[in-house]
Amino acid sequence: MYQWLLSILVVSLFSLPAWGQDKYSQESLYDKPLMERYVLDELKSLRQEQQDLERRLTIEITDRELAVADKSMNYANVTVTYFFYLIAGAASLFALIGWQSLKEIKEKTKQAADQQLEDIARQYEQKFQLLERDLKRKTRIIAQNNKEIETINEIHNLWLRSQNMQTPEQKIEVYDDILKIRPGDLEALTYKADAAMEIREFNWALGICNRVLDLDPRNAHALYQRACAYACLGSEEQAISDLEQAILHSTSLKELARDEQDFDSLRGHDRFESLIAFTD
């Protein structure tokens, strides 16, 4: 801006003699050195002011840059300080709760994992033990059932065999084989008592019937066979009492008693006749 004003001033000064050259020609000759001196002084003053202005601007810009740099350094310093404080606080927190190192974290994690695996293994071991016991129990039951099935099949074959026997003695032998396999089989005992009656072994048949009735006092077939034995042995009242109990537990025995030859000694007896009498 100062250079522009200086240019205007110089142009104005050198253009003044052209104006009224005729009227002021003498004065211009005397005043020209003074004018040049004035112009030079002004130029020097303007140059100095311009230099001072540039120096002040340079100093002000430099100060501002230094202030900005100082603020940046201060901000960076504060940031780094807070960051280290944060790291130190986190490290202190880890130290307080017991996690002092990565090695300790690894060891505790491994211990926790081992404990978890041990608990899981113990649970599965208990389940496997229960499963093994249950499997053994079921295996034992299956083996017992298989054995029972084999026994039933064998006894069934013996019953079929007894039906094909011709004599009471042969039947008794088969019934004894059944009793060897299953001692105390009440059905086999009653049929053995019946076979003993066929060979006229009344006391033997009576003993067998007593054995059955000791185990099952309401066994109708054993009561009927014992009634037959008593009748053949002459104990009429005991025979009729057993027959009453047999018919009470199994009414179908009434018709069988009507045709039973072992009761021939009881025919004509009032109790016996009323017992086997037809009813509507």
Euclidean distance between CA atoms 189 and 182, whole angstroms: 11
pLDDT in tens, 205-224: 888 888 888 888 888 888 88
Residues 84 and 64: their CA atoms lie apart, in Å, by: 30
| Residue in the block written with tokens 């505790």 | 108
Question: Can you tell me the distance from the alpha carbon of 123 to that of 152, in angstroms, rounded to the nearest whole number?
Answer: 43
Tens digit of each residue's pLDDT (9 = 90 or more) over 49-80: 888 888 888 888 887 777 777 777 776 776 76
pLDDT of residue 22: 46
Q: How far apart are CA 144 and CA 138, in angstroms?
A: 10
pLDDT reported for residue 190: 86
Rounded Cα gap, residues 223 and 258, in angstroms: 16
Residue of 88 and 181 predicted with greater confidence: 181
Region of 98 please: left (phi>0), alpha (psi -120 to 50) or beta: left
8 HSE (CA, 13 A, CB side): 4
Position of tokens 């280290």? 84
The answer on pLDDT for 86 being more than 80 is: no
